[in-house]
Amino acid sequence: MLNLSTPSTGPILTPNPNTKTPFRLKISTIKLLKPISTKPPRLRCQYSDQQQQQRTDAPKVFIGHSIYKGKAALTVEPRPPEFAPLDSGAFKLTKEGFILLQFAPAAGVRQYDWSRKQVFSLSVTEIGSLISLGARDSCEFFHDPFKGKSDEGRVRKVLKVEPLPDGSGHFFNLSVQNKLINMDESIYIPVTKAEFAILISAFNFAVPYLLGWHTFVNSIKPEGTTGLNNANSRSGADLEWSR
């Protein structure tokens, strides 16, 4: 008896003894398997505010704004706030975000020596001082990175923001004295009115995020506020004057 067959993925051929022809094709129905989806898996991660337990994972994004001048360059970068988990499953703000200023001296025409950069971290309050700065106003910030430690006073950083003599902008001047490595350096860069306006606009936008308030706003759900409002039925005025 002749028995021809194809691989398991094709039809099966079997002879028919009741016919004069050598054989007849008998097609057996083959059950097709459900095709495997080629759609990539959806990644989940825990978001920092953790009020929403799972969200689509998002890639890290590095941003900044730079100002380049003949003698120096200034790069401005935001740094996010930090949170700590509580036993209840909620999260609490443990550290506010800040704005990192990086000053690099020029090493040639349109070249800057970032290996010699000096950094200064602006707190939210210091950012507020810059935002409220007038065209003829100036401000000064002092930082000691080792304050409260054994090396307190060994490193001194002073950032001065002063108006240019012609009123066209401000000078940003960062002076760093580091007695640990016998270094004393000052880097300054003029910032025009337009450049200063861009910085102030970015600072205004960033402050609520540096405070972590966006995580609270994102956690608000209509169904989650009803019980809280009913439990605290007194008006806002009552709560204020009862203190």
pLDDT in tens, 88-143: 989 999 999 999 999 999 999 999 999 999 999 999 999 999 999 999 999 999 99
Measure the CA–CA gap between 139 and 160, rounded to whole angstroms: 6
In DSSP notation, 131-171 reads HT--TT--EEEEE-TTTTSTTTTSEEEEEEEEE-TTSSEEE
Which of 56, 58, 76 minimizes the C-alpha distance to 66? 76
> Which pTM value belongs to this model?
0.69
Instruction: List, for residues 157-203, the tens digit of each pLDDT value.
Output: 999 999 999 999 999 999 999 999 999 999 999 999 999 999 999 99
- Distance CA(133)–CA(60), nearest Å, equals 33
Q: What is the pLDDT of residue 25?
A: 46
- The rounded mean pLDDT for the chain is 80
Question: In the predicted model, is pLDDT for residue 62 greater than 90?
Answer: no
- Paired with 65 in beta bridges are 76
